[in-house]
Structure 1
Amino acid sequence: MTTKPRLLVTAADLAPQALELLAGFEVVYAGKTPSEEDIVALCARHDPAAIIVRYSKVGAAAMDAAPSLKVISKHGSGTDTIDKVAAKARGIEVRAAVGANAAAVAEQALALLLACAKSIPQLNERMHAGHWDKATHKSVELGGRTVGMIGLGAIGIRFARMAYAMGMRVIAYDPYAKDWPEFVDRVDLGTIWQEADAISLHCPLTAENQKLIDAAALARCKRGVIVVNTARGGLIDEAALLAAVKSGRVLAAGLDSFAIEPMTAGHPFHGQPGFILSPHIGGVTSDAYVNMGVAAARNVLDVVAVPA
């Protein structure tokens, strides 16, 4: 009798469509909120040939605990929670579900941009409290204004199309982009800071771009700029952003990702006017759940041969 290879999912579930593809594996779940230590322990107990990463981090200790491990497949596009240097040193493939959640995240970025420009959460709260602010409130019109994008991958391109369709001028910085739409102007970072009325982040987090938006960058931005981040929280110096919002340098910040997640009680952004927050759910839709699961499963099958 042939023993099925084991696959560890760092979550409590996976889309049924993905599980159909993975029928040749014995699937082990780590639970809803696994810690990095939990992942190491499960690797030591089950010695998986593959890991599908949804939550928590996978580092060198987990890899060393699973000598059969051949591939770590991200349930999404960002692989910063996987120690890629350690994986490469051990001959372990790291794959991402590139583009699987692009539509979902791009829509979240647009929603946050619009919510910031139109003060939708604040006006909703005021309306429910019985106020009618028509005579005193003015929102920002985005048509004709410039959105500066950092990152022009699958998510970025979708967001750029939507912003352009609203009549915005779209400029972008991405030294690695392979496809460059004709309606997007290629610029350097300095131009982003100086000319953008709104800045939207769509790049991976690396050692080189940590705290890319810091006090110095914000000081170069237009007064009243809007900042949107649906990428990774580490791209922003949160203390500098807080100061910029308080001073009015930044009109509003729409954030779906944060330096430390989950955000805990007492975070400086809590209750602070000018911040519209969501709990890193840009890619969490029913469609994206299936798309990311299927893509992650296919990436596993590209590396691990399953007995017939």
Structure 2
Amino acid sequence: MSAPTIIITGADLAQQALDLLSGYEIVYAGKTPTEEDMVALSRQHDPVAIIVRYGKVGASVMDAAPSLKVISKHGSGTDTIDKEAAKARGIEVVAAVGANAAAVAEQALALLLACAKSVVALDARMHAGHWDKATHKSLELGGRTVGLVGLGAIGLRFAKMADALGMRVIGFDPFAKNLPDYVQSVDLETIWREADAISLHCPLTDENRGMLNATTLAQCKRGVIVVNTARGGLVNEADLLTAVRSGQVMAAGLDSFAVEPMTTGHPFQGEKNFVLSPHIGGVTSDAYVNMGVGAAKNLLAVLAQTTVA
């Protein structure tokens, strides 16, 4: 009798994770699996579990895999999985929460510093032979206020680093409890009103989609910095572009976008005061292992429960 199958929506998985899954047949869907690819693979292999790295897993994929018990996210964000469809079919959805917290928080800090210190623009000027010491002034972050939307593992990691810089840290998260002393819990309106920099660290939901838009950006301090390492859908990109061009937003450091991958001709490309990275906040050698191991352990825990049941 053949071993049960686990499908990976990617081209690889950390060896440490594969070692944990040694009793299963592993099938890779590749780096850009389409829904049709996933349906075909599910029909062919009838997996008991799917580890989601890239692409989406919806109802049609679930229906093509009658033995599917668990969908395990290789990371913390589960917005690419149809959780309602999974619940209706008795399929567990789990995530490796916190596995990439250090990596993403560091990327958020890098983007914040790049915006405040004009790192990218000054680098380009230097390479072009300019010396702007007499005319350039950077922004000092110490003593200024950073507003965090989302105080989970990533948000709190970032908060600790911001506090170490001497920043005042305020944050909004209706689910956060037992916050450290250096994080002040506030409502969103206070973040818009008081923050000199805003960093997004929350999952994308129907309720918060487009939360950073013309209305909320207009409530912010003029010259605010916006950092997003969470999900692109949290930001109305057209409104952010207008706000940066007008100076309402001094600069935006973005690692997430409404449509990924970003294609040629995106309005942000070539715009000054935008620092962009291709959703690589959680892509480090350490996080790759942590997320793979977390995803493997999570799905094994669910399969063990279903076996007992």
Same fold (TM over 0.5): yes
Please give the per-residue CA displacement for 1:164-217, whole angstroms capped at 9, x wherever unaligned.
000000000000113311111111111000000000000000010000101100
User: Identity percentage over the alignment?
Assistant: 75
* Structure 2 residue identity aligned to 1:46: H
Gap runs ≥5 in structure 1: none
* Structure 1 residue identity aligned to 2:55: S
Please give the per-residue CA displacement for 1:91-150, whole angstroms capped at 9, x wherever unaligned.
000000000000000000000000000000111111111111101111100000000000
CA distance in structure 2 between the aligned counterparts of 1:112 and 1:134, rounded to whole angstroms: 22
Question: 3-state DSSP class of the match of 2:54?
Answer: coil
Who is 1:281 aligned against? 280
Who is 1:248 aligned against? 247
* Structure 1 residue identity aligned to 2:203: P
Question: 3-state DSSP class of the match of 1:304?
Answer: helix
CA distance in structure 1 between the aligned counterparts of 2:291 and 2:62, rounded to whole angstroms: 23
Question: 3-state DSSP class of the match of 2:302?
Answer: coil
Of residues 34-43 and 260-269 in structure 1, the stretch that sits farther from structure 2 once superposed is: 34-43
Question: 3-state DSSP class of the match of 1:115?
Answer: helix
Who is 1:18 aligned against? 17
* Structure 2 residue identity aligned to 1:147: V
Who is 2:201 aligned against? 202
Who is 1:130 aligned against? 129
TM score, norm. by length of structure 1: 0.98
Q: Number of residue pairs matched?
A: 306
The correspondence of residues 51-62 of structure 1 with structure 2, limited to 5 A, is 51-62=50-61
* Structure 2 residue identity aligned to 1:248: G
Q: CA deviation at 1:300?
A: 1.0
Q: CA deviation at 1:219?
A: 0.4
Q: CA deviation at 1:236?
A: 0.3
TM score, norm. by length of structure 2: 0.98
Who is 1:105 aligned against? 104
Who is 2:93 aligned against? 94
Who is 1:38 aligned against? 37
Who is 1:169 aligned against? 168
Of residues 28-37 and 237-246 in structure 1, the stretch that sits farther from structure 2 once superposed is: 28-37
Who is 1:49 aligned against? 48
CA distance in structure 1 between the aligned counterparts of 2:35 and 2:272, rounded to whole angstroms: 34
Q: CA deviation at 1:268?
A: 0.3
The correspondence of residues 204-283 of structure 1 with structure 2, limited to 5 A, is 204-283=203-282
Q: CA deviation at 1:36?
A: 2.1
Q: CA deviation at 1:3?
A: 2.3
Question: 3-state DSSP class of the match of 1:209?
Answer: coil
Question: 3-state DSSP class of the match of 1:94?
Answer: strand
* Structure 2 residue identity aligned to 1:256: D
Gap runs ≥5 in structure 2: none
CA distance in structure 2 between the aligned counterparts of 1:182 and 1:285, rounded to whole angstroms: 30
Who is 1:8 aligned against? 7
2:76 matched to 1:77? yes
CA distance in structure 2 between the aligned counterparts of 1:9 and 1:178, rounded to whole angstroms: 34
Who is 2:158 aligned against? 159
CA distance in structure 2 between the aligned counterparts of 1:273 and 1:197, rounded to whole angstroms: 19
CA distance in structure 1 between the aligned counterparts of 2:31 and 2:258, rounded to whole angstroms: 21
Who is 2:118 aligned against? 119
Provide the alpha-carbon RMSD of the alignment. Answer: 1.0
Question: 3-state DSSP class of the match of 1:69?
Answer: coil
CA distance in structure 2 between the aligned counterparts of 1:184 and 1:268, rounded to whole angstroms: 35
* Structure 1 residue identity aligned to 2:270: G
Please give the per-residue CA displacement for 1:51-93, whole angstroms capped at 9, x wherever unaligned.
0000000000000000000000000000000000000000000
Question: 3-state DSSP class of the match of 1:171?
Answer: strand
* Structure 2 residue identity aligned to 1:270: Q
CA distance in structure 1 between the aligned counterparts of 2:46 and 2:138, rounded to whole angstroms: 56
Question: 3-state DSSP class of the match of 1:37?
Answer: helix
